[in-house]
Amino acid sequence: MPELPEVEVTRRSFAEAIAGARILAVRLGKPLRWPLGCPAESLVGLNVVGVRRRGKYLLIDLDRGLLLVHLGMSGSLRFSGSQPEPGKHDHWDLQTSAGTLRLHDPRRFGAVVYAQGEEAPVAKKLLDGLGMEPLGPSFSPLAFHQGVKASRLPVKQLLLAGKLVVGVGNIYASEALYLAGIRPTVRASSLGPVRIQRLYQAIGQVLGKAIELGGSSLKDFSSADGSSGHFQNAVQVYGRAGLPCYVCSTPVKMIRQGQRSSFYCPSCQR
């Protein structure tokens, strides 16, 4: 599933090119997770003001309203001046004066939703429950500390839930916990202030590095310009079960938490 780094990398790969473009046509393929929410033809003639991100949503601001785009489990965007004929998994095209933005989504868990503004009910339903942005000014050390201490969940489950901090997916939660020296099974509320601060810093470091490396292309992720990510080549524990820890040589362990795989070093993480 594309997580925050992959969505941010995608945003950066086409946001500048599409800004200021005029919408010429909209093509809808098979139904996605949620309906568009407006007649497709009503978007024709609008201008793209810019592209932002909130959690794992891309917000394409128009001069009237906005489009909320979610990549779901397997979605990816392509932006090009000349797209080939749509394939069976190409479910949405936004043709603009600068090029065509296409959503490719084999499992169709992604979505493109129109809202008249961020205060519209559909936008609030999708965005209001999201946690703090881990790479933005709203990521407060105090609020993070309070949220961790208030939770009885295992710390990795808390990170994945997205209510406290958004976008820390499975790969990045495992890597941040390793960097902070915290086992994924530790109850969040049992952590002391020093360990919480280390985790707070580790989240920013791991996500920042993932964006710098273009995200993770474990399966078929690539950005809107077709570039693949390379963070998977820099992981310390994720996917390395049985292999030696880079720090202490203890074999990395893998356990299941909430149907997700967690990787950690039994020696370095307590």
Residue at 44: amino acid letter: V
Q: How many CB atoms lie within 10 A of CB 134?
A: 24
Cα gap 262→184, rounded to integer Å: 7
70 is in an annotated binding site: no
Q: Given the DSSP bridges, would you call strands 48-54 and 253-257 parallel, antiparallel or unpaired?
A: unpaired
Verify whether residue 2 is a known catalytic residue: yes
53 is in an annotated binding site: no
In the three-class reduction of DSSP (H, G, I as helix; E, B as strand; rest coil), residue 90 is classed as strand
In the three-class reduction of DSSP (H, G, I as helix; E, B as strand; rest coil), residue 212 is classed as helix
Given the residues 53, 54, 56, 240, select the one marked as catalytic.
Answer: 56
Given the residues 2, 5, 134, 184, select the one marked as catalytic.
Answer: 2
Given the residues 22, 163, 187, 260, select the one marked as catalytic.
Answer: 260
In the three-class reduction of DSSP (H, G, I as helix; E, B as strand; rest coil), residue 124 is classed as helix
For tokens 């993070």, what's the residue?
A: 144
Instruction: Using the Cα atoms of residue 28, residue 47, residue 100 and residue 14 in order, give the sign of their dihedral.
Output: negative
The two structure tokens encoding residue 168: 């820390």
The two structure tokens encoding residue 265: 């070093």
In terms of residues, how long is the chain? 270
Given the residues 3, 6, 8, 175, select the one marked as catalytic.
Answer: 3
Verify whether residue 260 is a known catalytic residue: yes
Cβ(15)–Cβ(50) below 8 Å:
yes
Verify whether residue 39 is a known catalytic residue: no
Give bridge partners of residue 95 from the DSSP assignment: 25, 100
Distances (CA, A) of 94 to 23, 186, 230: 7, 45, 28
**Binding site, annotated residues:** 89, 107
- Which residues are known to be catalytic? 2-3, 56, 260
Annotated binding residues for DNA, as ranges?
89, 107
